[in-house]
Structure 1
Amino acid sequence: MATKRPRRQAVSTCPCGLAETYEGCCGRFHRDEAAAPTAEALMRSRYSAFVRRDEPYLLRTWHPRTRPGRLDLDPGMRWTGLEILATTDGTPFHTTGTVTFRASFRGGTLHERSRFERVDGAWVYVDGDFPAA
């Protein structure tokens, strides 16, 4: 008689595209256990928050002067991947930075150059523009 092996629970990688689990990657930022150390890390965590529809995190990491009162996240939107195209500044030694990225969703892509600043030591999203493809 064969013995059954316990099934391994599938561990999913983080939606941001890094080869880490969600819990160990963007999840710790979403749970407010740590702050994103760079503008790129914040960008990745915000993408993951869009994937997971985490409106409180998105609002919390938006610059107070540009933050909307609320978000209307489309429940039918299915994000499928993130590609970081370029970063400028945005390290722990900077106060501003930009991240240019392409986010894919079912049916298309979003290409944006996002601007980030530090507020009280934490990186926040300011705004973005849409460069020509």
Structure 2
Amino acid sequence: MAGKRAPRARACPCGSPTYARCCGPLHDGRPAENPPALMRSRFSAFALDLSDYILRTWHPDTRPALLQSDPGMRWVRLEVLETTGGTLFDAEGTVTFRAHFRDNGTPGVLDEKSRFVRHNARWVYHSPM
């Protein structure tokens, strides 16, 4: 699915001022430097309906076969609350976040602590903890 690409000059869905300097390069193939960067880029990919990117950055042991787009779901804001590990010398890290959404106009919040691991020398999402 191609998704709705954000214009490069616009704000990034993850909250950064510029998509082109934040999640855009990761969506185009640059590896995330750490789990929080990958978390932000995955949130933005959900907001932009970039299911190929979401699947590509999901560990193969836990990745679903496909993602179904929900036209009524709109991801609106991300808060990264805490991170652990994920440094140059770590093999895994965690990101605790709060993702705000609207489901057919009704506001909601997803709170999760996510596990990220290195796979083939890249950070990938593994699973919730």
- SS of 1:78's partner is strand
One-letter code aligned to 1:15: P
1:35 pairs with 2:31: yes
Structure 2 unaligned residues grouped into runs of 5+: 1-6
One-letter code aligned to 1:17: G
Which of the numbers 20, 23, 41 marks the counterpart of 1:23?
20
1:13 pairs with 2:11: yes
Instruction: Tell me the residue number matched to 1:76.
Output: 72
Which of the numbers 88, 93, 97 marks the counterpart of 1:97?
93
Distance in 1 of aligned mates of 2:69 and 2:39: 17
Q: Which runs of 4+ in 1 moved over 6 A?
A: none
Count of matched residue pairs: 119
Distance in 2 of aligned mates of 1:93 and 1:37: 12
Instruction: Tell me the residue number matched to 2:57.
Output: 61
More strand by share: 2
TM-score, length-normalised on structure 2? 0.87
Q: 1:10 deviation in Å?
A: 9.7
Q: Kindly, what percent of the aligned residue pairs are identical? A: 54
Q: 1:11 deviation in Å?
A: 3.3
Q: CA RMSD in A?
A: 1.6
Distance in 2 of aligned mates of 1:10 and 1:120: 29
Taking a change above 3 Å as real, the CA distance of residues 46 and 75 of structure 1, as seen in their structure-2 partners, is: same
Structure 1 unaligned residues grouped into runs of 5+: 1-8
Computing the radius of gyration from Cα coordinates, the structure with the larger value is: 1
